[in-house]
A and B are shown apart, each in its own frame.
Chain A
């Protein structure tokens, strides 16, 4: 079984596309969350290897959520998936502890490549 992934994005469209890409590449999607609170809840009870995290969420600041995840879920690797791909923002999330940044819009190949580069 491939690595387990939790997808956090408020767009059902993006979640479905990401799920499609992940499943095609033998990852196991263990859940999806559409908001920050939903993500925290799922993360409290599941331990995914990878968290794909959008930083614009309807109920909470994604950077606050990132800080909380990095500190409380050290076993998960966080990959940011966002369209705010300015250099300072990318650097900030990486400095905070995210492992990689996927710029939206993405291609399936790019997502697969970024995830395959994560340490096992």
Chain B
């Protein structure tokens, strides 16, 4: 097979991995203990290695392999990440970059020699092992010389009141705020010798957070145990036949998240049976098996889980939804004309929209989809819907694993710092005025051959997005898995762990604000739901 036609793609995708790798190493230097970053680095090298091997570029795959091995050691705590490690990884990345250039120019004489680096990497990989991070929580306490527990203390677990766990989370969260304040002071008045303990504090805090949050985790089964019975009873009461499955029951979520999503999940299930699922006769007429299928699948990722609720019922017709929304005055005729099918499905989450043509004992109960949607947004999650007429619907709930202490992206808008939960952001980029084009009232830009809507955080300013042609506009991109869009902001500050507190009245009524956190300088950072800025 002729592989040369894939060369351009290989070069561009490799460059992407190399660029991201570079940025991640630098961010890791600031915070040498973030396992998510180490995993991400590993993934980049791993992908690059696989691609190069497929193209038979052995020098690239060999070097990527060595870097991957070193990252593996760091990940397993067998090698500590120091400035020298970063140097090695960056040097390797630079050589990879030069190799790609030589491949791109088809000039083997440019192919850099990495013998010396390879030797140093091999030494680092096989060298004296040195634990990098603090021992993990699973280790037995008597390994710590400072805390000799009584020998009689043999019980492996104790019952703890949930209030105690909540209190532990609160204290940990407050410690984060205090840490930000300390960091702020030390930036203003640099004090000798403060850097090392600050770094240690950050490491210990992250560990404390992990332990405390882990203690609050419960398997999804805890919420799902009553679903099979509920689905069965509902289906029977409507003379429908449903096979119901829950997949990924063992995946754990924060107790608070689980409690908050149980009702919304029940509502989506009720809708699936009540409106989505056909009777056995109808199904047979549409050439489907008499028994319908409904499933809930839980999938996990770094700091979030996705819950997919799928049914193979009658599905939704985007045109009917749009007509209904116009009739109900939920959207204007103009807006209706420009809606994509994808966006039409989201209409069912708009307040005032209900497709139930008759009030059955099922659809008349419980909360509407608008309430479902806002409960998910309040958790810092998001919901996307896809459906096909005749084939069924699928709902995706993307939820943070924990709600109170989250990883957030801080941005500045009109001199106000606000935070987006990192799990709701796909990427950030910088655009020039030339990259943005108008169509009617809407603004767009392109990313990877896709045209995306660009919204401005500040609606007034949106009317006149006047940036000098040579100045960059920072953009936060979200919704890549379904309905991608960008939001223009004034400045991107970076990522930080923040402790979110619920807002009191009347701020709690703001749909786009899901909470607040205290910044290092004592100011309030509002946590925003990016999906409400569309």
- Chain A interface (Cβ < 8 Å from any Cβ of B): 10-14, 16-17, 20-21, 24, 35-38, 40-41, 44-45, 56, 59-61, 64-65, 67-68, 71-72, 83-84, 104-106, 108
Question: Which chain B residues border A105 with CB–CB below 8 Å?
Answer: 50-54, 61
> Are A67 and B306 in contact (CB-based, < 8 A)?
no
Question: Which chain A residues border B300 with CB–CB below 8 Å?
Answer: 60-61, 64
Question: Which chain B residues border A106 with CB–CB below 8 Å?
Answer: 54
Known contacts A21-B1, A68-B308: does B51 contact A45 (CB below 8 Å)?
no
Q: Which of B6, B306, B308, B392 contacts A16 (CB 8 A)?
A: B6
Residue of chain A at shortest CB distance from B423: A59
Shortest beta-carbon contacts, A-B, top 4: A105-B53, A68-B297, A60-B299, A105-B54
Contact with A along B450-476 (1 / 0, CB 8 A): 000000000000000000000000000
Question: Which chain A residues border B50 with CB–CB below 8 Å?
Answer: 14, 83, 104-105
B49 within 8 Å of A by Cβ? yes
Known contacts A24-B1, A105-B61: does B297 contact A16 (CB below 8 Å)?
no
B412 within 8 Å of A by Cβ? no
Residue of chain B at shortest CB distance from A106: B54
Question: Which chain A residues border B9 with CB–CB below 8 Å?
Answer: 12-13, 16
The total of chain B residues at the interface (CB under 8 A) is: 42
**Closest CB in chain B relative to A61 CB, distance in Å:** 5
> Are B13 and A37 in contact (CB-based, < 8 A)?
no
Question: Which chain B residues border A38 with CB–CB below 8 Å?
Answer: 481
> Are B54 and A14 in contact (CB-based, < 8 A)?
yes
B394 within 8 Å of A by Cβ? yes
Question: 19 A-B pairs, CB-CB below 8 angstroms?
Answer: A13-B13, A17-B6, A20-B6, A24-B1, A37-B306, A37-B384, A56-B46, A59-B481, A60-B299, A67-B297, A68-B247, A68-B295, A68-B299, A71-B295, A72-B295, A83-B47, A84-B46, A104-B54, A105-B61
Residue of chain A at shortest CB distance from B388: A45
Question: Which chain B residues border A84 with CB–CB below 8 Å?
Answer: 46
B123 within 8 Å of A by Cβ? no
Question: Which chain B residues border A40 with CB–CB below 8 Å?
Answer: 297, 299, 308, 310, 394, 396
Chain B interface mostly: mixed
B482 within 8 Å of A by Cβ? yes
Report Cα–Cα, A12/B6, bound state, in Å: 10
- Chain B interface (Cβ < 8 Å from any Cβ of A): 1, 3, 5-6, 9-10, 13, 43, 46-47, 49-54, 61, 245, 247-248, 251, 293, 295, 297-301, 306, 308, 310, 312, 384, 386, 388, 391-392, 394, 396, 480-482
**Closest CB in chain A relative to B141 CB, distance in Å:** 31
Report Cα–Cα, A53/B247, bound state, in Å: 18
Question: Which chain A residues border B384 with CB–CB below 8 Å?
Answer: 37
Question: Which chain A residues border B482 with CB–CB below 8 Å?
Answer: 37, 41
Question: Which chain A residues border B248 with CB–CB below 8 Å?
Answer: 64, 67-68
Q: Which of A17, A44, A64, A108 contacts B299 (CB 8 A)?
A: A64
> Are B310 and A44 in contact (CB-based, < 8 A)?
yes
Known contacts A13-B6, A14-B54: does B1 contact A44 (CB below 8 Å)?
no
**Closest CB in chain B relative to A15 CB, distance in Å:** 10
Report Cα–Cα, A112/B308, bound state, in Å: 33
Question: Which chain B residues border A20 with CB–CB below 8 Å?
Answer: 1, 5-6
Which of A60, A65, A84 has the most chain B CB atoms closer than 10 A to its own CB? A60
With A13-B6, A16-B9, A106-B54 already in contact, 19 other A-B pairs whose C-beta atoms are closer than 8 Å: A14-B54, A17-B3, A24-B1, A35-B480, A36-B306, A44-B312, A44-B392, A59-B306, A60-B299, A68-B299, A71-B245, A71-B295, A72-B245, A83-B50, A84-B46, A104-B53, A105-B52, A105-B54, A108-B1
Question: Which chain B residues border A16 with CB–CB below 8 Å?
Answer: 6, 9
**Closest CB in chain A relative to B343 CB, distance in Å:** 15
Report Cα–Cα, A59/B300, bound state, in Å: 8
> Are B481 and A12 in contact (CB-based, < 8 A)?
no
> Are B481 and A17 in contact (CB-based, < 8 A)?
no
Report Cα–Cα, A11/B306, bound state, in Å: 21
Q: Which of A10, A11, A72 contacts B247 (CB 8 A)?
A: A72
Question: Which chain B residues border A83 with CB–CB below 8 Å?
Answer: 46-47, 49-50
Report Cα–Cα, A37/B394, bound state, in Å: 10
**Closest CB in chain B relative to A43 CB, distance in Å:** 9
> Are A64 and B298 in contact (CB-based, < 8 A)?
yes
> Are B301 and A44 in contact (CB-based, < 8 A)?
no
Q: Which of B13, B51, B306, B386 contacts A60 (CB 8 A)?
A: B306
Q: Which of A11, A21, A71 contacts B51 (CB 8 A)?
A: A11
Report Cα–Cα, A38/B481, bound state, in Å: 6
Report Cα–Cα, A12/B54, bound state, in Å: 14
> Are A67 and B301 in contact (CB-based, < 8 A)?
no
Known contacts A12-B13, A21-B1, A37-B306: does B394 contact A61 (CB below 8 Å)?
no
Question: Which chain A residues border B310 with CB–CB below 8 Å?
Answer: 40, 44, 72
Report Cα–Cα, A16/B384, bound state, in Å: 28
Known contacts A59-B306, A60-B300, A72-B297: does B394 contact A13 (CB below 8 Å)?
no
Report Cα–Cα, A37/B10, bound state, in Å: 25
Which of A14, A71, A72, A106 has the most chain B CB atoms closer than 10 A to its own CB? A72
Question: Which chain B residues border A35 with CB–CB below 8 Å?
Answer: 480-481
Report Cα–Cα, A87/B54, bound state, in Å: 21
Known contacts A37-B482, A41-B386: does B391 contact A17 (CB below 8 Å)?
no
Report Cα–Cα, A61/B295, bound state, in Å: 18
Report Cα–Cα, A26/B396, bound state, in Å: 34
Report Cα–Cα, A72/B308, bound state, in Å: 12
> Are B245 and A11 in contact (CB-based, < 8 A)?
no
Question: Which chain B residues border A64 with CB–CB below 8 Å?
Answer: 248, 251, 297-300
**Closest CB in chain B relative to A52 CB, distance in Å:** 14
